[in-house]
Amino acid sequence: MIDNILPVFYILAAASFILAIKWMNSPATARRGVFVGEAGMLLAVVGTLLRYEVVEYKWIVIAFLLGSAIGVPLAYLMPMTAVPQRTAISHAFGALASALIGTAEYFAHSPHGFRMAALILETLLGFLTFTASLMAFGKLQEILPTRPITYKGQNFVNLILFTLAAVIGIALIISPEQRWMFPIFMVLSLIFGVLLIIPIGGADMPTVIALLNSYAGLSASAMGFALDNKLLIIAGALDGSSGLILAIIMCKAMNRSFTNVLFGAFGQVQTKAAKTEARPVRSASAEEAAEMLDAARSVIIIPGYGMAVAQAQHKLRELFDSLSKRGIDVRFAIHPVAGRMPGHMNVLLAEADVPYDKLIEMEEINPEFPNADVALVIGANDVVNPAAKNDKSSPISGMPILEAYRARTVMIIKRGMSAGFAGIDNELYYMDHTLMLFGDAKAFVGSICKELSASK
Amino acid sequence: MRTYEFGLYVFMLAAFLGFELIRRVSPLLHTPLMSLTNAISAISVVGAILITGERDASVLTRSLGFIAVLAATINVVSGYLITDRMLKMFKKREPRK
């Protein structure tokens, strides 16, 4: 009897996941989306616990309690600047879960045929996403060097390893009873995940995180095939397509292809660009900057990863307030790849209470720059580099940029004259209408604010 | 229709639906979107429960299943809570002081 009702739980759960994602399209409905997503998850879990195959509850309950005990503080104590790391580590957890379920399923039920193929795909994606996400976490947390690590023949080694994993995987699908091969397959998948991330640098993290999100989803979907569970197939497919779309958006915003991000090792161009000689720049003090901002009618602020590093978002919001109070129109221009994950800047500024209708996307804000009196760049570099438009030989050529250089005055807060992630000199710094504001982003914005309130 | 054929149809439709829905999400919310889909993909907890709760599970499968339930639960709980925490911060106008 109960087994006739249980499929309804799963169908309702699938429907609520779809609604949850649908409602994410606007901040006004997004929280409702989270709520319905939670309800869906609850239905799925209850629907599973009631199934007749599930008889042993002790370990499940312990895992629930322990997982909640870890998950709740993780969600509430995590500072917003650490969101990219948290996302990476949660991809690792998700992928690990799915890989381990695949492994357990293999040893417990020895599936064969199509189910075994799905199981191999599930464990391959699961294990490689697990180590790849841990590596991404290490790079974001700066436990590991954020610069890309490359060596000669790297792509060749990766290819060999992947081929080996694929061959053993196929052999396992053909003869699943060869159990000794499974641990080798596991280890190869794990190593491949590590090697995949080694050559990837910090600024490519938005793409990579999105891609890992997609893999984790696809792994869950493959599990759905292995266990013949439609709810898993649907939820995994939603997650997989979501990650893929975000990765495509990130790639487009850098004018690069997937293969280029994954195998291109952007950092190599540095050596070539290191020749930068000292060219004259104009610099200004906080007082001068404050005067110019005070006289402006329209200001566009361009935040980048440097703002996140310096934790300058709260000071920036003070600046936003005091300029807005003077009737100055202040907006924020957000480049799709600013920061370390998709939407990173938006979350930080929203945390600092900047109203979200002041956060403007690239396509919308670019035509506004010629009318702006001041473009204030904080911790961004490559995304405002005019070389992307003008210099065909530049490594970032063709990347869509925020056209800050078209504003009447450009101010750039920067610690020193070092090049950005791509290792390319930025033409913008040497332009006649550019003022360099040397100093720590947070401290400098703070002193501009002080000057502004003093001159009131 | 064979089961896997049916499954592939379901997968295809869900993937297309996902593409259409996510294309409409404003870039403003890409970070919360990612943490939400991550929480949703922790649906693998279903598979983990089935493995762990079996009558005659061996020590190996039960321990693997236990770790899987644990990892998935962490994702479910922290994923939804942090998404909500992020979304709460997105305000249109500042509250009057």
The DSSP code for A283 is B
Q: Which residues of A touch B82 (CB under 8 A)?
A: 74-75, 78, 83, 86
pLDDT in the model for residue A53: 85
The 10s digit of each residue's pLDDT in A288-327 is: 899 999 999 999 999 998 898 888 999 999 999 999 999 9
- Domains identified in chain B, total number: 1
Alpha-carbon distance A406 to A386, whole Å? 10
Distance CA A239, CA A382 (A): 30
Residue A258, exposed/middle/buried by CB under 10 A (0-12, 13-18, 19+)? middle
Mean pLDDT, chain A, whole residue set: 88
Classify residue B14: in a domain, yes or no: no
Element (H, E) at A251: helix A230-254
- Is residue B47 in some structural domain? yes
- Contact A369/A286 with Cβ under 8 angstroms? no
- Report the residue of B31, B80, B91 to disrupt the A interface, i.e. the one with the largest count of A CBs within 10 Å: B31
d(CA A361, CA A348): 15
Residue B8 in domain = no
Joined tokens for residue A344: 């990173």
Q: What residues of B are in contact with residue A18 (Cβ under 8 Å)?
A: 17, 21
Q: Identify the sign of the CA torsion B56, B57, B59, B63.
A: negative
Please, which pLDDT band fits residue A454 given cuts at 50, 70 and 90?
A: confident
Q: Please report the pLDDT score of residue A272 as a whole number.
A: 41
Per-residue pLDDT, A275: 46
Q: What is the ipTM of this complex?
A: 0.94
- Residue A277 pLDDT grade (very low, low, confident, very high; cuts 50, 70, 90): low
Split at pLDDT 50, 70, 90, the class of A420 is: low
Digit-coded pLDDT (tens) for A116-142: 999 999 999 999 999 999 999 999 888
| Smallest CA–CA distance from A210 into chain B, residue | B34
Does a structural domain hold residue B71? yes
Average pLDDT over residues A258-272: 56
- A13, A101, A229: residue with CB nearest B51: A101
| Any domain includes B95 | no
Of A291, A301, A288, nearest in space to A456 by CA: A291
Query: Domain range spanning residue B39?
Result: 27-89
Positive or negative torsion for Cα A448, A449, A450, A452: positive
pLDDT at B46 over 90: yes
The arithmetic mean of pLDDT across residues A199-208, rounded, is 83
> Taking 90 as the threshold, does the pLDDT of residue A115 lie above it?
yes
Across the interface, do B75 and A71 touch by the CB < 8 Å criterion? yes
Cα angle for residues B49, B53, B54 (degrees, 5° grid): 125
Please give the backbone phi and psi of residue A5, each rounded to the nearest 5 degrees, phi first: -85, -30
Instruction: Assess whether pLDDT exceeds 60 at residue A205.
Output: yes
- CA dihedral for A129, A133, A134, A139, sign (positive or negative): positive
In degrees to the nearest 10, what's the CA dihedral of B14, B20, B26, B32?
10
User: Any chain A CB within 8 A of the CB of B54?
Assistant: yes
- Residue A165's Cβ-side half-sphere holds a number of Cα atoms within 13 Å equal to 22
- Domain assignment present for residue B5? The answer is no
* Distance from C-alpha of A107 to C-alpha of A339, rounded to nearest angstrom: 42
* Partner-chain contact B41 A241, CB within 8 Å: no
Q: Name the 3-class secondary structure at B53.
A: coil
Residue with tokens 């919360």: B32
What pLDDT, on a 0 to 100 scale, did the predictor assign at position A265? 53
A382 among known catalytic residues: yes
CATH code of A286-454, in short, is 3.40.50.1220
Measured CA distances, A223 to A16, A104, A367 (Å): 20, 12, 47
pLDDT at A394: 78
How far apart are the C-alpha atoms of B58 and A23, rounded to whole Å? 42
Burial class, A227, CB count within 10 angstroms (exposed 0-12 / middle 13-18 / buried 19+): buried
The residue of chain B with its CA nearest to that of A46 is B46
Domain with CATH 3.40.50.1220 in chain A: 286-454
pLDDT tens digits for range A19-40: 999 999 988 899 999 999 999 9
Q: Which of A52, A101, A140, A250 to mutate to test the interface with B (most CBs of B within 10 A)?
A: A101
Give residue A269's pLDDT band: very low, low, confident or very high (50, 70, 90): very low
The gap from C-alpha A243 to its chain's centroid, in whole angstroms, comes to: 10
